[in-house]
Amino acid sequence: MLLSPYATLGDRLRIGVLIGWCALVLAFLVLPIFVPVPLSVNSEAFFTFPLAGFSWRWYEEVLGSDQWREAIWHSIVIAIGATVLATGLGTLAAIGLTNPRLPARRVIMGILISPLIVPVVITAVGAYLFYARFGLASTFSGIILAHTAVASPFVVVTVGASLANFDRALMNAASICGARPWTAFRRVMLPAILPGVLSGAAFAFVTSFDELVISLFLASADQRTLPMQMFTGLREHLSPAITAAATLMMSLSIVLLIVADRLAHRGRRD
Amino acid sequence: MPVQASETDALVRFVGVQKSYDGHTLAVRDLNLDVNRGEFLTLLGPSGSGKTTTLNMLAGFERPTRGEILLAGRPVDRLPPYQRDIGMVFQNYALFPHMSVAENVAFPLSVRRVARAEAEQRVKRALATVRLEAFGDRRPGQLSGGQQQRVALARALVFEPALVLMDEPLGALDKKLREHMQIEIKLLHEQLGLTVVYVTHDQSEALTMSDRVAVFHDGEVVQLGPPDTLYSRPRTPFVAGFIGENNLLPGRCETVEGAGATIRLQDGTMLHATPVGAVAPGARVVVAIRPEAIRLAETGDNVCRALVRSVIYLGDHQRLICDVANGATLTVKVPPGPGATAGETQALAWSAVDCLAFAADASTDATLNEEWNA
């Protein structure tokens, strides 16, 4: 498509350079993400190419050991909790922030988005010191709350974007038709912004599921999450099991984002 | 309260209603207005005159800063829109895009928990009323503007509200369709015995459809009355200029005798006019003459000579743009046929009854300026 059937030598050269450049970018920025995938099915305990042979043994180790299984379970529980909270709060915040009558909208938006901008170490230290006072350090609730803080901005942004195309007169119309605020939200606004809510929720889940720094500060051994398990695995005994765990995590994230995208598109067609 | 309600036939009463959005400027100043049962009342005015704010307060989307609104004798200040049982048609239809036409129309019934079978019957009837029986399964996006507006009407009528509000419902339609819909809405109003409060900035729409018109200007009702009264007996120069067409000329009152007054225009021309309200000798006035009240004749209460600048042919009548000696322009509406040609001097005559003189004030000057800038 890039080249016309009558391309000159110059055109071919330019396209060639462009393709080469894109290949370099992909190679150095995206390819490293997929390096653990082949290693996870390596039959030998070496992090080297070429692979010695094919084997599921590292997956068996991850899914078979109590330590790994517990970490996966913790991560799922925390991610679901954070997703529910972040989606609820983020959606409410986005609705409020798109109300033209709300004063200081930009300032409030900035504050809500700040966990994305502030270095995560600072968020983690702050959360640890603050939550310790309320007995929330080393508890699932504490980790879920802190993850909610870093996951909500995604929901605020995606829901805010879908609200930008939502005609607020529809809410007045629903109200004068006799719908109470909750009914009007559920039957008129929610269907319109559902794509944004779903993709926000998917981002929130993935954010919490992959989160390491906050968990390191707030979680004790009883709440060890999957990223923490991988991190200690890397430090203590370098086992290819972490490549299997990484592949599993990556697959889950990709599947989630695809599902959210599909749902969003179906919502738009309706 | 019940005593009050039975005393009057008013379905809606605005009592001393004020509205300010920012605490300084008043969008609505001091509104006292009754809407009678079965009446088609139009709130007419330019944008920013307070008519839409008034409608939004009646719907419950806005709360009055001061004063009270009574619906069927009951104050509704604390009543949210969803408890007011008012039907409403919005300017841009405000149909729910993800629902079918039938689902849109059924919405007010389903939130009222009307049984499914009955709801289906009523939706069918409402769609039949607006002649869209065959379109129930379509999405609003698949309909034309006029059809969407009819769906909006059906949705507003399906739960049989006593009161229906319409906020410039025909503004987005083209001229032919708009005129057609005006007649349809008017017929529905008569058939169903509805009380309608209609907002528009289009004076011809207001004249066509209404039983009474409230003319809004700067947050106040400047005149309230049936269309013919507003047209023939405007009380202020603003109403004279806003409803129909009028030639407005500034001048000064010389004498007042009974129902007549003599007015001196800026160039010294003397006119016999009918004063409206209090006009004292020596006061600055604005004189209003309808284009159709001016004849091509040598005799009458007022006669002046004018140069016909151009003749515009409009089928059922023709319009002459005439320059009068004092630099003012008069528009004259005469029957078609030979009578005047551009470039010649004509004698124009009109009677004192058709020549209204209003006391001038600052807002009159603004009206005149608008007139001249237009």
Tens-digit pLDDT profile for residues A185-195: 999 999 999 98
Q: Which of A110-114, B115-119, B359-363, B365-369 has the lowest mean pLDDT?
A: B365-369
The mean pLDDT value for B303-316 works out to 87
Q: What is the spatial distance between Cα B134 and Cα B100, in angstroms, rounded to a whole number? A: 12
CB B315 within 8 A of CB B286: no
Q: Which of A108-117, B26-35, B251-260 has the lowest mean pLDDT?
A: B251-260
pLDDT of residue A270: 45
pLDDT of residue A231: 87
Q: Which of A226-240, B81-95, B208-222 has the lowest mean pLDDT?
A: A226-240
CB B15 within 8 A of CB B69: yes
Tell me the C-alpha to C-alpha distance, in Å, between residue A26 and each of A50, B139, B140.
22, 44, 45
Confidence band (pLDDT; 50, 70, 90) for B244? confident
CB A195 within 8 A of CB A142: no
| Mean pLDDT, all residues of chain B | 88
The mean pLDDT value for B300-322 works out to 88
Contact A172/B at CB under 8 A: yes
Residue to test with chain B: of A167, A177, A186, most B Cβ within 10 A: A177
pLDDT of residue B6: 44
The 3-state secondary structure of A120-184 reads HHHHHHHHHHHHHHCCCCCCHHHHHHHHHHHHHHHHHHHHHHHHHCCCCHHHHHHHHCCCCHHHH
- Would the CB atoms of A178 and B108 count as touching at under 8 Å? yes
Q: Which domains, from first to last, does chain A contain?
A: 1-32 (no CATH), 66-269 (1.10.3720.10)
Contact A177/B at CB under 8 A: yes
Q: What is the dihedral of CA A250, A255, A257, A263, to 10 degrees?
A: -170
Strand B318-324 and strand B302-313: pairing? antiparallel
Q: Which CATH code fits B2-232?
A: 3.40.50.300
Q: Which of A169-183, B25-39, B335-349 has the lowest mean pLDDT?
A: B335-349
Residue to test with chain A: of B98, B158, B159, most A Cβ within 10 A: B98
Strand B195-200 and strand B28-36: pairing? unpaired
Q: What is the spatial distance between Cα B257 and Cα B196, in angstroms, rounded to a whole number? A: 43
CB B42 within 8 A of CB B200: yes
Cis amide prior to A50 (ω within 30 degrees): yes
Contact A180/B at CB under 8 A: yes
The mean pLDDT value for B135-141 works out to 92
A151-185 pLDDT per residue, tens: 999 999 999 999 998 998 999 999 999 999 999 99
Q: What is the spatial distance between Cα B151 and Cα A143, in angstroms, rounded to a whole number? A: 51
pLDDT of residue B66: 93
Q: What is the spatial distance between Cα B73 and Cα B75, in angstroms, rounded to a whole number? A: 7
Confidence band (pLDDT; 50, 70, 90) for B42? very high
The mean pLDDT value for B180-184 works out to 89
A83-133 pLDDT per residue, tens: 999 999 999 999 999 888 888 888 999 999 898 889 999 999 999 999 999
pLDDT of residue A3: 67
Contact A171/B at CB under 8 A: no
Confidence band (pLDDT; 50, 70, 90) for A256? confident
Which CATH number does the domain B245-373 belong to among 2.70.70.10, 2.40.30.10, 2.40.50.140, 3.40.50.2300?
A: 2.40.50.140
The mean pLDDT value for A243-269 works out to 81
CA distance A15 to chain B (A): 42
Confidence band (pLDDT; 50, 70, 90) for B3? very low
Confidence band (pLDDT; 50, 70, 90) for B37? very high
- Would the CB atoms of B80 and A179 count as touching at under 8 Å? no
Give the nearest partner residue to A169 out of B81, B92, B107, using CB atoms.
B92
Q: Strand pairing partners for A111?
A: none
- Would the CB atoms of B88 and A169 count as touching at under 8 Å? no
- Would the CB atoms of B111 and A177 count as touching at under 8 Å? yes
Q: Is the ipTM of this complex over 0.85?
A: no
CB B105 within 8 A of CB B158: yes
The mean pLDDT value for A48-65 works out to 82
Confidence band (pLDDT; 50, 70, 90) for B8? low
Q: Which of A1-15, B35-49, B136-150, B203-217 has the lowest mean pLDDT?
A: A1-15
Q: Where along chain B do its domains lie?
A: 2-232, 245-373
pLDDT of residue A267: 55
Give the nearest partner residue to B98 out of A177, A180, A191, using CB atoms.
A191
Residue B366 predicted with pLDDT over 80: no
The 3-state secondary structure of chain B reads CHHHHHHCCEEEEEEEEEECCCCCCCCEEEEEEEEECCCEEEEECCCCCCHHHHHHHHHCCCCCCEEEEEECCEECCCCCHHHCCEEEECCCCCCCCCCCHHHHHHHHHHHCCCCHHHHHHHHHHHHHHCCCHHHCCCCHHHCCHHHHHHHHHHHHHCCCCCEEEEECCCCCCCHHHHHHHHHHHHHHHHHHCCEEEEEECCHHHHHHHCCEEEEEECCEEEEEECHHHHHHCCCCHHHHHHCCCCEEEEEEEEEEECCEEEEEECCCCEEEEEEECCCCCCCEEEEEECHHHCEECCCCCEEEEEEEEEEEECCCCEEEEEEECCCCEEEEEECCCCCCCCCCEEEEEECCCCEEEEECCHHHHHHHHHHHHC
CB B365 within 8 A of CB B321: no
